[in-house]
Amino acid sequence: MTNPAIESSGLTKRFGSTAVVDGLDLRVDRGTVLALLGPNDSGIMPLAVQALKRER
């Protein structure tokens, strides 16, 4: 198995009592292109920010 560029398990992000991301498992291998698509207010930006913060 390769060393992933990003790997998160059980990622959750809440704004007050509203969960915008709930229990997400994500693995992106090095050299992979990933696009996150969805409607407005679907939680894509909080997902990206939280996933990248975990990698620091």
pLDDT of the chain, 56 residues: tens digit per residue:
578 888 888 888 888 998 888 888 988 898 888 888 878 877 777 777 776 775 55
Give the span between the Cα atoms of 29 and 20, in whole angstroms. 24
> Into how many domains does the chain fold?
1
The conformational region for residue 36 under phi > 0 = left, psi -120 to 50 = alpha, else beta, is: beta
User: What per-residue confidence (pLDDT) applies to 17?
Assistant: 92
Which H/E stretch holds residue 54? helix 44-55
User: What per-residue confidence (pLDDT) applies to 20?
Assistant: 81
pTM of the predicted structure, to 2 decimals: 0.60
**Residue range(s) defining the domain that contains residue 27:** 4-55
Tokens for 27, please give them: 């693995």
